Amino acid sequence: MWDSVFWLIAVGVFVAVEAATTALVSVWFAVGAAAALLVSLTPLGVGWQVLVFAVVSAAVLLGMIPRLSASRAGRQAPVTNGSPLTIGKQGTVLKSLTPGNVGRVHVDGLDWQARSDTPMREGEICRVLDVDGFVLIVAPVPVAEPAAQ
């Protein structure tokens, strides 16, 4: 009886840890604890429960490794700061820009903080001129120039 309560709490803790993180860190332990919980409902002893927990957790982890590595190999790491790779690219103003204030722009599929010496309204097309830390320095794109994103 108490071993069933232990495994039920373990499942809850592992699920809570998984839900609180953005990376897969304990899902295999949650599955292993759930399997051990099922074994605890049989007449088998605690030793079998621990063995089932370890084997099922390891099997789920080993089963997920190829899928995780394949999905990560095809994905480019997100840019987390004002990357120089954005210089010269065009984007769309999301939050109005006024000289001396920070607004927001959408460039390369990401939202960025931005500054401009020229006032710009939401929806206007801009070009990235420079990067200052996490902030893009942008300027308006003349209307005659096509907006390639």
Query: What does the pLDDT profile of the chain (149 residues) look like in tens digits?
Result: 788 999 999 999 999 998 888 777 888 999 999 999 999 999 989 999 999 999 999 999 999 888 777 766 665 555 555 567 788 999 999 999 999 899 999 998 888 999 999 999 999 999 999 988 889 999 999 876 555 55
Residue pair 112/124 in contact (Cβ under 8 Å)? The answer is: no
d(CA 149, CA 132): 21
Of 46, 73, 100, which closes a domain?
73
Of 44, 73, 102, which closes a domain?
73
Q: 97 and 68: one domain?
A: no
Two tokens, residue 49? 């429960």
The type of residue at 56 is V
Map residue 88 onto helix, strand or coil: coil
Q: 17 and 62: one domain?
A: yes
d(CA 48, CA 45): 6
Q: 66 and 100: one domain?
A: no
Q: Are strands 125-132 and 110-115 parallel, antiparallel or unpaired?
A: unpaired
The pTM (predicted TM-score) of the whole model is: 0.48
Q: 35 and 7: one domain?
A: yes
Residue-level length of the chain: 149
The domain of 128 spans 84-140
